[in-house]
Structure 1
Amino acid sequence: MQSFRTELENPLVEKDIIDLARKIELFREGKIHEEKFRSLRLARGVYGQRQQGVQMVRIKLPYGKMTFKQWKRIADISDEYSTGNLHLTTRQDIQIHFVSLDRTPELWSKLEEDDITLREACGNTVRNVTASPSAGIDPNEPFDVSPYADATFRYFLRNPICQEMGRKFKIAFSNTDEDTALTYMHDMGFIPKIQDGKRGFKVVLGGGLGAQPMLAKTSFDFLAADQIIPFLEATLRVFDRHGERNSRHKARIKFLIQKIGFEKLTELIQAEWKSLKSKSFEVDTETGKWNVEADALPSKTASEVAIMNQAAYDLWKATNTFEQKQTGFYGVYVRILNGNIHSTTSRSLIEQLEGYIADDVRVTINQGLMLKFVPEANLYYVYSVLEAHGFAAAGANSMANITACPGTDTCNLAISDSTNITSKLEAVITEDFPELIHNSDIKIKISGCMNSCGQHGMANIGFHGSSLKAADKRVLPALQVLLGGGTVGDGVGRVADKVIKVPSKRGPQVLRVVLNNYEENANEGEYFNDYYDRQGEKYFYNLLKPVADLTTLKEDDFIDWGASEQFQTEIGVGECASVIIDLVATLLLESVEKMDWTKAAYDENRWADSIYHAYSVFVSAAKALLLDKSVSASTQSGVIDKFDEQFVATGEISLSGKTFKELVLQINQNEPSQEFATKYVEDAEAFLALAKAYRDQLTLV
């Protein structure tokens, strides 16, 4: 591989990209351990996929926002480096697949020309900040949350406190109490409130799906808007220090809460306050980009368009559009099967829609798009454009629009198909229950495994990929059926119950049985979850038991949806977050690199950043020496305590009369001033030199 060069206006971005290119070279030369390299590339949006030798690249779009120019750039990138497909995700990102690792720096560089990043789209970082797609135009919102989501995204991008956490951290902003961003299933979520004329947020903390879903708890019923970023910063510092690092399955903040309790976590967060970079953070909500100024508003009025099927248009308008709070404009939801849209289609849509709608397109959490500021006079035209491209299906937010992760198409962890079956399940609604196209209370979601990337864990009707064994010991693809999950509102949600497992080919039958039963037996106006609660889990288990009967299997049941050969489980190594490689030499080399970051931040007068980088130097170097003794610690706080036990208390290493804990945790006792930064950086450099000398002495023995 040749060394990569780029010329970008942002020197930080340019350094990032050149660094990735160099690290790829070192990895190819065998000079970087595979696990360490995995951690590095994940934090730069490069993710291994099911097919060997190629990568998935995740493009980070804060709160799903993109301009036409950015959308076109992504489409062109997919043509040049991928397959031409753009996959819209439930976290408002766009993913492209089958990318050569060696070409990712060049790809990233071209994206950055239109201010699009890959940085921290994967890995143990703050992931993409999501938000309600209707933010800024919803008639029911107290205020636009977009500026706050944007500020959060930018504040924590490349922030040293969240670069190498034990696990990922997900943040969401809902714009109303309806909670369309699903805050209750996030590590931290925000819902806007007005109190005494002042802006603020309800804050929920510690939610998550995955194999062990947990609902978020309320931290504040009202937190002033200028305090949300400081609170986030303090929480991330605690999570970084006390979060699990050895067992990735127990490493999310929900497990830290489970381990130490919510009250103790709150105390630890409060103890960080003195050391924060920002005690208050005012978000700019006045600039034009939040108000869609004239240059972004539609400038064209469409000519009269003949609609061939007026009934279809009326249904589309009723289910896919809404009147904005800005008089005369509509928001339009676009339904996209499995979130997959081709680059050619994207460019054609851009060409035909540009000027007729605002230059502000949002990726939605149900894998679709939302178009903003569509003048009422242009609705017929927009519908005709979408119809010509196959994207005018009604029910964009109804149960007919099913969310699905990529599953066995590309994911290492997927057990059975989740994409081909989606079209079959949607057909059940369209063909057998057409009246439910208006039902937006029931959500159907499917994932290829239990990890819930398709959000099945909070669906009213959910499925996740699995397997079953027949009487003759052959394995067949299966679906775990879940019922009763969903959004209650205002940061409160429900986790779905696992009811029964059935052969995958019987998924459509499950849906028919459940919906027929609901239609026949529910009381007038009774919501699905109320009906589920009234009947109970056992009732639905017995209802679906005949569908799960394995004595009536056919040969077709052993072939997964979209496949032609007999099913077999092929689960690879997951990369939802990386592990930290426990090699002494590697850790010491990392410590040296972190010391370089410390000095660079210090030289740029970024005192808080230099202090936190120095903290990382202490922990990384101490961990290296502990590992040399085969002593493991699963948290950074554990590393600090065990270093004192193993080295300081024994007299093996002297720290001028201080304990290691006293030395390191000065970080919590001081404001991030130049004076403290100077001393703390010097202490970290001295400790690193001591650790290297100690290690060198051991290797000479």
Structure 2
Amino acid sequence: MQSFRSEIENPIVEKDIIDLERKIQQFYKGEIDEERFRSLRLARGVYGQRQFGVQMIRIKLPYGKLTSEQLHRIANVSDEYSRGRLHITTRQDIQIHHVSLDRTPELWAELEKDDITLREACGNAVRNVTASETAGIDKDEPFDVSPYAHATFEFFLRNPICQELGRKFKISFSGTDKDTALSFMHDLGFIAKTKNGVRGFKIMVAGGLGSQARLADTLFEFIETDKIIPVTEAVLRVFDRFGERSKRAKARLKFLIKDIGFEAFVKLVEDEQKALSVKTFPIDTAGFDKDVDVSHVEIPSVEIKDQQAFETWKAINVIEQKQEGLSAIGVKVHLGDFYTKEARILADLIKKYAGNEIRLSLRQNILIRHVKNELLPFFYVELQKLGFVDVGYESTLDITSCPGTDTCNLGIASSTGVSAELERVLKTEYPQYANNKEITIKISGCMNSCGQHTMAHIGFQGMSIKSGNLVAPALQVLLGGSVLGDGAGRIADKVLKIPSKRGPQALREILNDYQSNVKVGESFLNYYDRQGERYFYTLLKPLADTTNLEQSDFVDWGADEAYVKAVGVGECAGVVIDLIATLLFESEEKLENASESLKKEQYADSIYYAYLSIVNTAKALLISEGKKTNTHAGIISQFEEEFASKIELDVPFSEFIFQIQKNEPTKEFAESYLIDAQSFYKKVDAYRANIVSDEA
């Protein structure tokens, strides 16, 4: 396992991977608590599966961009460390499953050879930064948002202000007012705008799905591009300090704003301005603004055996780019799953015959970019060999689904099984929806909405339902969600719960009623609003009857045995249980990080590491006294109240720690703040040692 170290060129990455390897060994030896170790590995993209003893690895791919070389690398890693299956997520990541924990450092090192990271793909950090998959080629976009998404990804990767948040934090970039990156459901959503010829963004804040969905507020109607990094940093600083940490269900940014109010939140963001690491951050777009040159690409001669099928595919799955003479090809990937054999062939195709780039979509598909229009027949023939020409890319027939009970600990009922059956029903009974880009169908295996069912026109959520003493898999039917555009959205209504095996019939009832009653020119949403939620409850109510269930109703989709509700501990959104000794040990590590950052003249990072050490140290002492430690702000106020007379400081504790907010990140302040943090740690450590000694 040690051989990979000499092959990693980036010393920061090398340290990261070695640290993961070391933490794994410490965990095996019992030196790290299991709950704390969970937090450590999640921050490195290693997620526990439903199946015992294996891990899911989430590969972080900013805005879903992949080159041929990177796709080959991921395929090689999947074959070597897993089973050759690749899963595209609704955040434009790729997941591979069934990986041994022992091999994760080596796997990570292999990926880094082509600049692919696992860092912060899971856990309570800034997750993958997503963007419209058509960014850079969309005829309607004011500018390409890709470089801004990339700069945001890079700036906050390993950034100390967002390593141990109360919960995950999600950021998106939409290229147009159509809001295809779904800004309204993100912690921070950016929508490209221009004002008097100047590039900028509308910024949405504190949206989210899950069991308590919330539509985002508008933080700024327009802000210039060089301000988006400072704004994001300020929001993250506020979330880190005031966000809930103990109650997982209340720990997202949307709950903080709900608790304190939007105006109070904005004031807190404004109060952080002096402490920011940068006041302005111009983003270099040079590498993205260059046109892709595919003029040299040869055009092989091919024979189209079914011209009508080709024309249908071209009309539905091909997108005309803003670059003259080029098109993008949408590949509908069933359930987001494809395999390494197809991945390698696809990688070779885009390298030789296109712009050497694909983008993964938010609906778990693949978009091949920069294809000469003359090459469309050739690509059709080649993709047909791979089974990649199913029509319906990003259409009603293209159902979004999370893995559900296949691999996820939180899955309540199968989402992939019912998705497959619904797609079959649509394809055979409702083929006319292959080119319907309006109605979306989304399915999640639990309330967390990884399949984004709460924003679908037609959504399904995995549940369970009782029938006497027996329990059957079930689906909550939701209707009326949608993306409205320009930061606005709709959350779907929960209509009723039905046994899961009746999901296909529920879809038939809805679509049949829509086709029978929709008015000319009326959208699905207007039709739904006109009929009303109660109408659909009555329409579907016969399917909710549990007195007439058959034996097959107690077997979930894709299963052979009777359904058993088995929900494990969720990890991606989990909050860890901290031990006092572990906290104090981590305080020391943070002081070391502060010192290292100071040597590298990274003053803002040094200051924040010192701040985190002080908070961690105070938290450890409060936990030893049985006190609550829900937020950083709460820790600070409680520590001042409980230990003002026990830990001697020259000023009140709040004033001591909040120097971070009152000073600019200069070398002088970084040095003095680090000395303060080191001194505070020594005082607390000595106090704790005396207490332990007395208790013994």
- 2:495 is paired with a residue whose SS is strand
- Answer with 418-427 or 147-156: which moved more: 418-427
Q: Residue deviations 1:501-553, cap 9 Å, x none?
A: 11111111011000000000010111111111111100000000111122221
Paired residues of 2:193 and 2:201 also in contact (CA < 8 A): yes
Task: Pick which of 3-12 and 227-236 moved more.
Answer: 3-12
Tell me the equivalent position of 1:632.
628
Partner of 1:673: 666
Aligned positions of 1:159-558 closer than 5 A: 159-287=159-287, 289-294=288-293, 297=294, 299-471=296-468, 473-558=469-554
- Which residue of 535, 538, 555 maps to 1:559? 555
Matched, 1:694 2:667: no
Report how far residue 3 of structure 1 moved. Answer: 9.2
Question: SS state of the match for residue 31, structure 1?
Answer: coil
What amino acid does structure 1 have at the position aligned with 2:649?
L
Residue identity matched to 1:12: I
Shift of 1:455: 0.5
Q: 2:646 aligns to what?
A: 652
Match of 1:598, as an amino acid? A
1:159, 1:516 → 2: CA distance? 52
SS at match of 1:56: strand
Instruction: Tell me the equivalent position of 2:78.
Output: 78
Tell me by how many angstroms 1:577 deviates: 2.6
Name the amino acid aligned to 1:95: Q
Instruction: Kindly indicate whether the alpha-carbon contact (under 8 Å) linking 1:319 and 1:397 is maintained by their aligned counterparts in 2.
Output: no
Q: How far apart in 2 are the matches of 1:81 and 1:633?
A: 40
What TM-score does the superposition give when structure 2 sets the normalisation length? 0.98
Aligned letter for 2:431? P
Task: State the distance in 1 between where 2:596 and 2:167 align.
Answer: 26
Q: Which residues in structure 2 correspond to 1:553-592 (within 5 Å)?
A: 553-592=549-588
Write the distance in 2 (CA, Å) between the matches of 1:119 and 1:607: 23
Contact 1:444 1:456 in 2 (8 A): yes
- Note if contact 2:292-2:370 (Cα within 8 Å) is conserved in structure 1: no
Q: Is the 8 A contact 1:445 1:456 kept in 2?
A: yes
Is this contact kept in 1: 2:463–2:473, CA < 8 A?
yes
CA deviations on 1:650-671 (whole Å, 9 max, x unpaired) are x122202x10000000101010
Q: Which amino acid aligns with 1:512?
A: R
What is the DSSP-based 3-state SS (H/G/I as helix, E as strand, rest coil) of the residue aligned with 2:299? coil
Which string of whole-angstrom CA distances, capped at 9 and with x for unpartnered residues, describes residues 314-361 of structure 1?
Answer: 111111112111000001111000000101111122234432111111
Match of 2:654 in 1: 661
Shift of 1:420: 1.8
* Paired position in structure 2 for 1:140: 140
Give the TM-score normalised by structure 1: 0.98
Whole-angstrom distance in 1 between the partners of 2:556 and 2:127: 32
Question: For the residues of structure 2 that align with 1:314 and 1:668, how far apart are their CA atoms?
Answer: 61
RMSD: 1.1
Aligned counterparts of 1:315 and 1:464: Cα–Cα separation in 2? 32
> Which stretch shows the higher mean deviation, 422-431 or 369-378?
422-431
- 3-state SS, counterpart of residue 543 of structure 2: coil
Indicate the residue corresponding to 2:15 in structure 1.
15
Structure 1 position 113, deviation (Å)? 0.4
Displacement of 1:461 in angstroms is 0.1
Instruction: Tell me what 1:642 maps to.
Output: 638
Instruction: Give the Cα–Cα distance (whole angstroms) in 2 for the partners of residues 663 and 130 of structure 1.
Output: 38
SS in structure 2 opposite 1:516? helix
Residues 661 and 484 of structure 1: CA distance in aligned 2, closer, same or farther (over 3 Å): same
Q: Does 1:602 align with 2:594?
A: no
Q: Distance in 1 between matches of 2:522 and 2:330?
A: 27
Contact 1:123 / 1:578 at 8 angstroms: preserved in 2? yes
Q: Percent identity?
A: 56
Any residues of structure 2 matched to 1:608-627 within 5 Å, and which? 608-627=604-623
Distance in 2 separating the partners of 1:424 and 1:582:
44
Aligned residues, how many? 694
Q: How far does residue 581 in structure 1 lie from its aligned partner after superposition?
A: 2.7
- In 2, Cα distance between equivalents of 1:633 and 1:261: 22
User: 1:659 corresponds to which letter in structure 2?
Assistant: P
How far apart are residue 6 of structure 1 and its match? 4.1
In 2, are the aligned partners of 1:463 and 1:481 still within 8 Å (CA)? yes
Tell me the secondary structure at the aligned position of residue 259 of structure 1.
Answer: helix
Is the CA contact 2:59–2:121 (under 8 Å) kept in the aligned structure 1?
Answer: yes
Deviation at 1:416, TM superposition (A): 0.7
The one-letter amino acid paired with 1:571 is: V
Whether the aligned pair in 1 keeps the contact of 2:350 and 2:357 (CA below 8 Å) is no
Give the whole-Å Cα distance in 2 for the aligned partners of 1:76 and 1:4. Answer: 16
For 1:555 and 1:578, how far apart are their aligned partners in 2? 36
1:129-168 alpha-carbon deviations (Å, 9 max, x no partner)? 0000000000000000000000000000000000001000
The one-letter code of the counterpart of 1:475 is V
Q: Displacement of 1:293 after TM fit?
A: 4.2
Q: CA deviation at 1:300?
A: 2.2
Contact kept in structure 2, 1:301 and 1:377, CA below 8 Å: no
Deviation at 1:211, TM superposition (A): 1.0
Counterparts of 1:516 and 1:6, CA distance in 2: 62
8 Å contact 1:246–1:634 — kept in the other structure? yes
- 1:684 aligned residue: 677
**Paired AA for residue 620 in structure 1:** N
- Is contact 2:304-2:310 (8 Å) kept? yes
Looking at structure 1, the residues matched to 330 and 425 of structure 2 have their Cα atoms a distance apart, in angstroms, of: 22
Question: Could you tell me how far apart the structure 1 residues matched to 2:448 and 2:106 are?
Answer: 32
Aligned with 2:286: secondary structure? Answer: coil
1:90 touches 1:367 (CA, 8 Å); kept in 2?
yes
CA distance in 2, matches of 1:211, 1:254: 12
1:551 is paired with a residue of what secondary structure? Answer: coil
Question: What CA distance in whole angstroms lies between the structure 2 residues aligned with 1:367 and 1:6?
Answer: 36
Q: Distance in 1 between matches of 2:611 and 2:136?
A: 40
Cα distance in 2, alignment partners of residues 299 and 403 from structure 1:
37
Unaligned 5+ residue runs, structure 2?
A: none
Q: Whole-Å Cα distance in 1 between the matches of residues 322 and 350 of structure 2?
A: 22
Q: What amino acid is the match of 1:335?
A: K
Whether the aligned pair in 2 keeps the contact of 1:136 and 1:146 (CA below 8 Å) is: yes
Secondary structure at the residue paired with 2:542?
coil
Give the deviation of 1:180 after TM superposition.
Answer: 0.7
Q: Which one-letter code corresponds to 2:290 in the other structure?
A: N
**CA offset at residue 4 of structure 1?**
6.9
Distance in 2 (alpha carbons) for counterparts of 1:41 and 1:545 = 45
CA–CA separation in structure 2 for the residues paired with 1:512 and 1:485: 18
Give 1:301 shift.
2.6
Alpha-carbon distance in 1 for matches of 2:296, 2:212: 49
Q: How do residues 85-96 of structure 1 correspond to structure 2 at under 5 angstroms? A: 85-96=85-96
CA deviation vs aligned residue, 1:224-276 (integer Å, no higher than 9, x gap): 11111100000000000000000011000000001000110000000000000
Q: Tell me by how many angstroms 1:431 deviates.
A: 1.5
Contact map agreement 1:4 1:18 (CA 8 A) in 2: no
Counterparts of 1:231 and 1:442, CA distance in 2: 35
Q: Is the 8 A contact 2:474 2:498 kept in 1?
A: yes
Per-residue CA distance 1:86-123 (angstroms, 9 max, x = gap): 00010000000000000000000000000000000000
Q: What's the CA shift for 1:426?
A: 1.1
Shift of 1:444: 0.2
Q: d(CA) in 2 for partners of 1:7 and 1:348?
A: 27
